[in-house]
Amino acid sequence: MTTLPRYIRLTAAAGVLTTAAFGGYVLSHLEVIPETGRRRLMLISPETERRLGEMNFRKILQQHQNQILPLTDPRAKMVRYVGERIAKASNRPDFNWEFVVIDSPEENAFCLPGGKICVYTGLFKQLRHQDGLAAVLSHEVAHALARHSAEQISLGSLFSIMLLFLSPEASTVVASAYSLAFDLPKSREHESEADAIGLDLMAKACFDPRASPEMFADWAKKDHIKAFKYFSTHPPSSERAQNLQKLLKGPMDRYNHHCHDVQKLYRN
């Protein structure tokens, strides 16, 4: 039997050890999302994530300093009122929740790590009522609770390390394939997960959960692009409305059984 050269055996052994060490590192950084039970890779600590969120939030406040609505503005009051009810329902006092409204025609809202949520005034044109705003804010709070930003950073960091072992040409091809086959589907998964978690948060905060599928059904009527779902960071609004409708029973039971007196209190 021919014996392999020593350098080949050493290289193979080093490869096995490196693979084992890498696998052990990955396994040691797997965690479960409490709200959904999904397992995922997490390389960033909550403290680091919150520092990043705080830093980026301050940059946004500086960038839009002349567009931030004062707390006396009715829209800012509503966002803060609804947001604080949802934040309380999340039962995460370790988060430093902040809600700001930016005067901009964009019909959007977004969340930064650690509970920093920004709403554009353009969004109000798309909302029927306060429960619709609660649907948006619950979705954004859910992103923070599930630590989706930290998960994206973790996966991106791991992928960047892998690219170091490839040529520039191969890296470009692999990066494009990664985006289409993994990054975009993961983003859509995060959106669907935040929809589901947000539905439960709405019920806990005593906002009508039916407003969430209703809102996406409204947005589906205005969607101009019906195809190319797999090139998007978000699932189609019609699909989100249908999925949320299927998840309504549990949140609605909670809302109907526990929120009658609370709703009366908030309305008075």
The predicted-structure confidence for 142-171, as pLDDT tens digits, reads as follows 999 999 999 998 888 776 777 666 677 666
What was the pLDDT predicted at 261? 63
In a domain, 15, yes or no: no
Cα–Cα distance, 259 to 141 (Å, whole number): 20
CA 67 to chain centre: 25
For every residue of 242-254, DSSP letters joined together read: HHHHHT-HHHHHH
In a domain, 65, yes or no: yes
* Partners of 98 in beta bridges: 116
Q: Give the domain range for residue 82.
A: 28-267
Q: Evaluate if residue 97 carries a pLDDT over 80.
A: yes
In a domain, 22, yes or no: no
In a domain, 228, yes or no: yes
In a domain, 250, yes or no: yes
Annotated active-site residue 54? The verdict is no
In a domain, 258, yes or no: yes
Q: Cα–Cα distances in Å, from 189 out to 144, 146, 215?
A: 15, 12, 19
Number of domains in the chain: 1
In a domain, 262, yes or no: yes
**Cα 68-66-112 angle, rounded to 5 deg:** 45
Active-site residue (options: 49, 98, 140, 151): 140
